[in-house]
Structures are given as structure tokens and as C-alpha cells.
Amino acid sequence: MMPNPFDNDAAEFTVLRNAEGQHSLWPAFAAQPAGWDRRHGPASRADCLRFVETHWTDIRPLSGQRDAAGATARGDNPRSR
């Protein structure tokens, strides 16, 4: 069975981000998928994880963050629905 390249602690990775602000670790040897921009790396898996933990503090998609901010500005409470 082939090892999963996403779980290889010895490999180099890049950190990718999509239009929704979501981050992903991606093996440095693999082609970057459409719709994702490189934000960090190539670097060790541990270094890339530190980057993600530092720069992606709100894991909601950007559209969800905007929706929540709009509801708060209007005085809506989405949890009370």
C-alpha cells in the first residue's frame, strides 16, 4: 500500500489558500490545484502547520464570516432562529 503523501512528516509542503480563505497543506512535489494560491513554503510539514495555526484563526469560510458580520450589524442573532 502506498503511503499517503499528506501524512509524510519528512516531506516538504506548501500552504495553499482558496478564495474562501480556507488553508490546505499540499505536498510540494504535487501540482497546485486550480483555485488555490500558495501562501507559504515549500517548508517542513511542522513549519507549514505553524503557519496555518498563526494565519488561519477563524476557520469559517470568508462568506460565512461576512454573513455573520452582516447579521450582527443588523442586530440579528442567527443562533436564535
What structural domains does the chain harbor? Answer: 9-72 (3.90.820.10)
Q: What is the pLDDT of residues 35-58, one digit of tens each?
A: 999 999 999 999 999 999 999 988
Question: For the chain, what is the radius of gyration of the CA atoms?
Answer: 16
Edge-to-edge strands, sheet with 12-18: 23-27, 12-18, 36-44
Q: Residue 54 corresponds to which cell in the numbers above?
A: 498563526
Q: Is the peptide bond before 42 cis (omega within 30 degrees of 0)?
A: yes
6: DSSP letter:
G
Q: What is the pLDDT of residues 11-20, one digit of tens each?
A: 999 999 999 9
CA-to-CA separations, 81 to 50, 56, 66, 71, in angstroms, rounded = 37, 28, 18, 12
pLDDT at 59: 78
